Amino acid sequence: MSETNQQAPRWIGGIEPPKELLKASGTQILEIECREQPQKLHELLQAYRSDPVIRAELKKLSELARRKGPVLFIGMGASYCSSFGGSVLLQTHGRLSFSEDAGEWLHYARPIWADAALSVLLTTSGESAELVELFKAGDDEPRGLICNNLASTCWKLAENKLPIMAGPEYGNATKTYTNATAAAIILSSEILGRPWQEEADRAAEAFTANLDPVFALRGEIEAFCRGAANIEIIGRGAAYGGAIMSALCIREMSGHRAAAHTGAGFRHGPNLDVDASHVAIIFALGRVAGLGVKLAEECNRRGGKVVLVSTEDHKATSQLFPVRITTVPEPWEGITSLLVPQALTLGMVEKSGCRLPPRFQYGVMEQ
């Protein structure tokens, strides 16, 4: 009698999806998961405030970070983007910290890994080959984990770990990015000994209040951006992480070319070839909001179009599409900045179709 070796399905997040979701399109999944973000964010904040296991993990990681050296956040893709809120907050308050690409760190930086006080590895799946390899390295460097999959290899290997608590995610990173960003900001706040609860609640309330109004503009934003040769997304500080995530979302879901830049990086590079074929989404947020507005004006003078995301009112023109969002404490703009590009992506795939089908199971994870 022949035997067949069939592996059990490797469901995203270790949870079998409801049957009705298995029939959903990529466009439907994107909107569902975008609209789940506020609830998942509120749930994470409540758990990080009161859950004794999570509170104990935050304390342990904070104690590890007291060692001499920088605090590193290491991830790839959306996980890498979500770490900027944590590293920027530490830098702003005088603690050396960096966000690093996991692949680059694995292959080039391990000889200096011992110089870090604490390395926090971020992976939504917990199965990314580079992150698994870093946990298997067997070195003595203090490591923590921020992860969404409690059944994953990384979760099993990690001694110190924090959950993302976003639930299974079947499309582009939306709620996992939002919650991982929040987790990184909270951890950095704990390391600094800064209270974070009030600021986090303000950010969550702003995110919730802004989602529907911004998403209601998606058709207008899509029409404004239609025909662009590519879309440049510009942010500073934690919002630079939002810019990288936004470009990934647009490219992955719609197939349209998009690229992320810091404000200074854009000014000293791509700004030189801005013309009527360009659309820039500029996050004029936080302490450097004025620089974002100035950059938008310069792009307009060169003939380019700008979607300006800001906390102030600006007059709309044929070249400027302003979107006002609520002010949040730094670095929480790393979350609220993402709403406009998410709305644009939804508008694009509703008009032209979704390039990425839903993913309900993990594929092969390789470098």
Tell me the domain boundaries of the chain.
19-202, 206-352
Q: Which fold has domain 206-352?
A: Rossmann fold (3.40.50)
Place of tokens 């508008």: 347
Q: In terms of Cα–Cα distance, which of 95, 41, 75, 78 is closest to 144?
A: 75
- As a whole number of angstroms, the distance between CA 152 and CA 158 comes to 10
Task: Supply the pLDDT for residue 51.
Answer: 98
- As a whole number of angstroms, the distance between CA 302 and CA 205 comes to 37
Which phi and psi angles does 88 have, rounded to 5°?
-65, -40
| Structural tokens at position 112 | 């200096």
Task: Supply the pLDDT for residue 3.
Answer: 43
Torsion of CA 71, 72, 78, 81, to 10 degrees: 70
Please enumerate in sequence order all residues whose Cβ is within 8 A of that of 358, keeping only pairs 6 or more positions apart, or say none: 21, 24, 25, 26, 29, 170, 171
The angle subtended at Cα 65 by Cα 62 and Cα 69, nearest 5°, is: 165
Query: What sections of the chain are H helices per DSSP?
Result: 19-22, 26-50, 52-64, 77-82, 84-92, 102-104, 129-136, 153-157, 175-192, 197-215, 218-225, 238-254, 263-267, 289-301, 333-336, 339-352
Class of domain 19-202 as given by CATH: alpha beta
Task: Supply the pLDDT for residue 21.
Answer: 77
The angle subtended at Cα 364 by Cα 359 and Cα 365, nearest 5°, is: 100
Task: Supply the pLDDT for residue 7.
Answer: 64
What is the SS3 assignment for 140? coil
Fold matches, 19-202 and 206-352: yes
Q: In terms of Cα–Cα distance, which of 177, 194, 102, 188 is closest to 334?
A: 177
What is the rounded radius of gyration, in angstroms, for the C-alpha atoms of the chain? Answer: 20
Task: Supply the pLDDT for residue 171.
Answer: 83
Task: Supply the pLDDT for residue 1.
Answer: 39
Task: Supply the pLDDT for residue 367.
Answer: 67
**Tally of CB atoms within 10 A around 205:** 14
- From first to last of its 367 residues, the chain has per-residue pLDDT tens of 344 445 667 777 667 777 777 778 889 989 999 999 999 999 999 999 999 999 999 999 999 999 999 999 999 999 999 999 999 999 999 999 999 999 999 999 989 999 999 999 999 999 999 999 999 886 678 999 999 999 899 999 999 999 999 998 888 899 999 999 999 999 999 999 999 999 999 999 999 999 999 999 999 999 999 999 989 999 999 999 999 999 999 999 999 999 999 999 998 888 788 888 999 999 999 999 999 999 999 999 999 999 999 999 999 999 999 999 999 999 999 999 999 999 999 999 999 998 877 776 766 666 6
